[in-house]
A and B are shown apart, each in its own frame.
Chain A
Amino acid sequence: MTTVNLLAYRDPELFARLLRRIIPALEEQVQKLGRRVRIMEVCGTHTVSFSRTGVRQVLADFVELISGPGCPVCVTDQSDIDHMIAYAKRPGTVVATFGDMMQVPGSAASLRRQRAEGADVRVVYSPSQAVDLALENPQKQVVLLGVGFETTAPGVALSLKRAARDGVRNYFVYSVHKLTPPALKALVEDPDHRLDGFLLPGHVSAIIGRRGWTLLELLNQPAVIGGFEPLDLVVSVYRLVQEMKRPVRLVVNNYGRVVREDGNPAAQRLLEETFEAAPARWRGFGMLPQSGLEISETYRAFDARVALPVDRPVTKAVRGCRCGEVVKGKETPLQCRLFGTACTPERPLGPCMVSDEGTCSIYYQYERSHHRDRREEPHEDYALARGWRQPDA
């Protein structure tokens, strides 16, 4: 019964009827603007959904979808990536990480390469598994790489509480957790970024609630919280366009089956207890005020930065990688010279090609065929692009 309800959001017949009804409204807005409506889908899972369901193509004449900063690994600054990889080289250390960090290229190597060279790097599915690792390896220090947005941080917060309660003294977190609204504010305030509205991430909103986006209401930005099924996608786009027509815009919750006005208050309380908001450096954006989560005073003993300092490694940018512009939606992967040539999911040069939620990886998987006319670039040498080899004179 319930399963049927959830699957009903994929009903092709209802989808077709909705589309017929919605397209005239989109057409009208396109005529008014003299161009397509520019909508940023903030969440990488939305980017995937638009591509995989074909909704991106269906709406292509009316809507230009721009991927936003919705991939946690991708928005992590290169210096933090290098810092996290440095823990893999630390003697007596086990690095616990979610899978998509493994292949992210650091300035010198990736976690996967460190592991091949003997470092103890474990992929975990949940932060509590990392605490288990600490209990199983009492003579070692276990460092969880805390990468993720508001949806992920509560799970990490629970692991900190458990470690404190059970007196696990060899468990540490390197937190680069980020908060989404400050990044969107930065995009709104960027004078040469013309976005007509935001499709807001459904699962971040499950935690922070519709109320978590008041910042966008203060900026009078059209914004809709949406789900990930085909019906969610088209209806969210429609409601977003309707909101654009209003002089005063409210954040619309179009994902009521998951998102409540106040989000998940238990998760919010937990975050307040274990973390505190702090300035954070984002790839592409630079420093953004109150946009990161640092481990709070009470849990400082578990903060890898404080309790287990490592030498900050030298960070080099990847020559030619446009990931910093891609996460801001200012360029598409197709504008990167290395896309699909030197940089592929098998041999990624930047984080946007690694994560399943990275825009480059998604475009590589789904969107290349729609852009066959793109001229083929000569194959750039991998080591040259990584800066591991100097160009020939």
Chain B
Amino acid sequence: MCLAVPAKVLEVDPTRLRARVDYLGSQTVVGIALVGGVQTGQFVLVHVGEAVQVMDEEQARDGLALWREWLDDSEPAGLP
């Protein structure tokens, strides 16, 4: 309903509350008033020209690791 795309922050302009971001290789400028303290290198979720949330990389890693662990514990050994 609210298609939002992840984009990497390349440069932050804290006075004008804008950032240059990279989304799939193309660069655009988005507003960052809703994500105070966002830093270069972080990923943000962009909707209607505004970054609406900072993506949590640690969570992204942990989420996957958790599922892998769960599979390793529950699959009989030796199965592919």
Residue of B with least CB distance to A43: B1
Contact for A18 among B31, B36, B56, B71, CB less than 8 A: B71
Given A203-B52, A256-B63, A266-B36, verify A158-B31 contact (CB < 8 Å).
yes
**Residues of chain B within 8 A of A204, CB atoms compared:** 1-2
- B48-74 near A? 1/0 per residue, CB < 8 Å: 111011011101111110011011001
Given A98-B48, A158-B34, A203-B52, verify A6-B6 contact (CB < 8 Å).
yes
- Determine whether the beta carbon of A9 is less than 8 Å from that of B2: no
**Contact of A32 with B by CB under 8 A:** no
- Determine whether the beta carbon of B2 is less than 8 Å from that of A45: yes
**Residues of chain B within 8 A of A270, CB atoms compared:** 34
- Determine whether the beta carbon of A149 is less than 8 Å from that of B2: yes
**Contact of A154 with B by CB under 8 A:** yes
Minimum distance in angstroms from A235 CB to a CB of chain B: 6
**Contact of B10 with A by CB under 8 A:** no
- Determine whether the beta carbon of A155 is less than 8 Å from that of B49: yes
- Determine whether the beta carbon of A17 is less than 8 Å from that of B71: yes
Minimum distance in angstroms from B40 CB to a CB of chain A: 12
**Contact of B3 with A by CB under 8 A:** yes
- Determine whether the beta carbon of A155 is less than 8 Å from that of B6: no
- A226-261 near B? 1/0 per residue, CB < 8 Å: 000001000100000000000000000000111110
A17–B71 alpha-carbon span in the complex (Å):
7
- Determine whether the beta carbon of A154 is less than 8 Å from that of B57: no
Which stretch from A87-95, A124-132, A184-192 is at the chain B interface? A124-132
Minimum distance in angstroms from A142 CB to a CB of chain B: 16
Contact for B4 among A125, A206, A357, CB less than 8 A: A206
A129–B52 alpha-carbon span in the complex (Å):
17
- Determine whether the beta carbon of A158 is less than 8 Å from that of B47: no
**Residues of chain A within 8 A of B36, CB atoms compared:** 266
Minimum distance in angstroms from B23 CB to a CB of chain A: 11
A203–B53 alpha-carbon span in the complex (Å):
9
Chain B facing A: main interface SS: mixed
**Residues of chain A within 8 A of B48, CB atoms compared:** 98, 125-127, 148, 152, 155-156
- Determine whether the beta carbon of A151 is less than 8 Å from that of B4: yes
**Residues of chain B within 8 A of A260, CB atoms compared:** 53
- Determine whether the beta carbon of B34 is less than 8 Å from that of A266: yes
A126–B63 alpha-carbon span in the complex (Å):
32
Residue of A with least CB distance to B48: A155
- B18-54 near A? 1/0 per residue, CB < 8 Å: 0000000000000101111000000101011110110
**Residues of chain A within 8 A of B47, CB atoms compared:** 151-152, 155, 203
Given A2-B8, A151-B52, verify A256-B1 contact (CB < 8 Å).
no
**Residues of chain B within 8 A of A42, CB atoms compared:** 1
A70–B52 alpha-carbon span in the complex (Å):
18
**Residues of chain B within 8 A of A125, CB atoms compared:** 48-49
A243–B70 alpha-carbon span in the complex (Å):
17
Further pairs besides A203-B52, A259-B53, A267-B34: 17, Cβ < 8 Å: A2-B43, A14-B67, A20-B75, A43-B1, A71-B1, A126-B31, A126-B48, A154-B34, A155-B50, A158-B34, A180-B1, A203-B3, A206-B53, A256-B63, A257-B59, A258-B55, A266-B35
13 contacts between A and B (CB under 8 A): A8-B60, A14-B67, A21-B75, A45-B2, A70-B1, A129-B49, A151-B2, A155-B31, A158-B31, A180-B1, A203-B2, A264-B52, A267-B52
Question: Which residues of B line the A interface, CB within 8 A?
Answer: 1-4, 6, 8, 31, 33-36, 43, 45, 47-50, 52-53, 55-57, 59-64, 67-68, 70-71, 74-75
